[in-house]
Amino acid sequence: MSRTIVVKVGTSTLTGGKETLDIDYMADLVRQLCQVADEGHKVVLVTSGAIRSGMAALNLKPILSLAEKQAAAAVGQSLLMHTYRELFARYGRHVGQVLLTRADVEDRERFRNAKQTFQQLFRWSVIPIVNENDTVSTEEIQFGDNDMLAALTALVTDADILILLSDVDGFFVKPQKGKPYLVHEIRQIDETIWRSAGKSGRFGTGGMISKLQAAEVLMNCGILTVLANGRVEDVVLRIVNGEQIGTRFIPKRQLPARKRWLAYVPRVKGKIIVNEGAKRSIIADGKSLLPAGVLGVAGEFESGDVVALIDGSGNLFAKGITNYSADEIKKIAGSHSDEIAKILGFNRKPEVVHRDNLVVLSNSEVFGGES
């Protein structure tokens, strides 16, 4: 069965701990990706290394300001793609460069456009190579080393698996007593897991924290994530064939594609405060949010904006697309649906947030905050 497989490789893995890209390693990775594609799977490569390529070309030291890193990425991006293009050409494969940022796909229409671009590349048997647009965006440069970008790519492409290739053998739990130990499966990212995450390395910027954040997003959206050592022989092929390598983050649930986008991508514009009865109905029964269940609002937003649903204690439990502005909700909060027209002077949908445009969050901390 054909699957969509996103493979992300970080800077530290591409360099092997050195200051320049390891072309021999890149060639072997490309060989594996082409073999996976030859087996009928759709393959996407999310790659770091643009900044490192630019630094090497310009003979720059590793300590750079943000502006210098962005400028180095502008130089290195074309060099990196040229290298990949030559390596994939050895196997008769064309590649297509896709530069993404979170802002590019926060809008639902732009998200669909990105999805259609990937689908067309797949139809042409082209391997998409994804990187953040480092020359204009700073989010991954500062915080993620493309881990969250890889999660976003997995959502856009409706991936079955995200493989994070790193310089570690998987995730190691660090107990209060005793030596750290490798875990092969994680089904819940709890406080022990978060405490065990280490700091980023010399050239990488993500470290284990950003990998956990990416994995948790996909666990909540129904996509398997595997964290493994990118230098293990045939690591991609062996993972795709089901071999137990590294750490597997097992999905908690399946979400439709639209709700995956809603849960992860857009930042919320404001908050709707919901009473306990409405919260229970939304979580347990999958109901819509009606005016009667609303206690109030926080922030300014318009009809069609993405908002957070919080309970009376301030706990975020869902996100949704509102049918009403903040000012309108203030007027109809606590009212019955058949009173809306009388209060506002016009008719509109009775639901403040319809269940089709609403997603319950398993762990709100990994999803977007306010813009």
pLDDT of residue 309: 97
314-340 mean pLDDT: 94
d(CA 299, CA 294): 15
pLDDT of residue 346: 85
Length of the chain: 371
Residues 271-306 pLDDT 10s: 999 999 999 999 999 999 999 999 999 999 999 999
- Angle ∠(288,293,294) on CA atoms, nearest 5: 110
Residues 351/289, Cβ–Cβ less than 8 Å? yes
pLDDT of residue 186: 96
Place of tokens 């937003």: 301
CA distance readout (Å), 315 to 178, 195, 312: 36, 22, 7
Residue 201 has pLDDT above 60, yes or no: no
pLDDT of residue 204: 39
Portion of the chain with pLDDT greater than 90, in percent:
61
Residues 97-110 pLDDT 10s: 998 887 778 888 88
Domain boundaries, the chain: 4-260, 267-366
Residues 132-177 pLDDT 10s: 865 555 555 444 568 988 999 999 999 999 999 999 999 999 888 8
Residues 74-92 pLDDT 10s: 899 999 999 999 999 999 9
- Topology annotation, domain 4-260: Carbamate kinase (3.40.1160)
Residue type, 264: Y
pLDDT of residue 231: 96
pLDDT of residue 108: 84
pLDDT of residue 135: 58
Residues 15-47 pLDDT 10s: 988 888 999 999 999 999 999 999 999 999 999
Write down the mean pLDDT value for the chain.
88
Domain 267-366 has CATH 3.30.70.580: no
Higher confidence at residue 294 or residue 131?
A: 294
Three-class DSSP category at 300? coil
Tell me, letter by letter, the H, E, C secondary structure of 154-207. HHHCCCCEEEEEECCCCEEECCCCCCCEEECEECCCCHHHHHHCCCCCCCCCCH
pLDDT of residue 140: 54
pLDDT of residue 139: 56
Please, which residues have CB within 8 angstroms of residue 286's CB and are 6 or more apart in sequence? 355
pLDDT of residue 202: 35
Residues 127/33, Cβ–Cβ less than 8 Å? yes
Residues 231/25, Cβ–Cβ less than 8 Å? yes
Residues 183-197 pLDDT 10s: 999 998 888 888 888
User: How far is the first Cα of the chain from the last one, in angstroms, to the nearest whole number?
Assistant: 40
Residue type, 277: G
49-75 mean pLDDT: 86
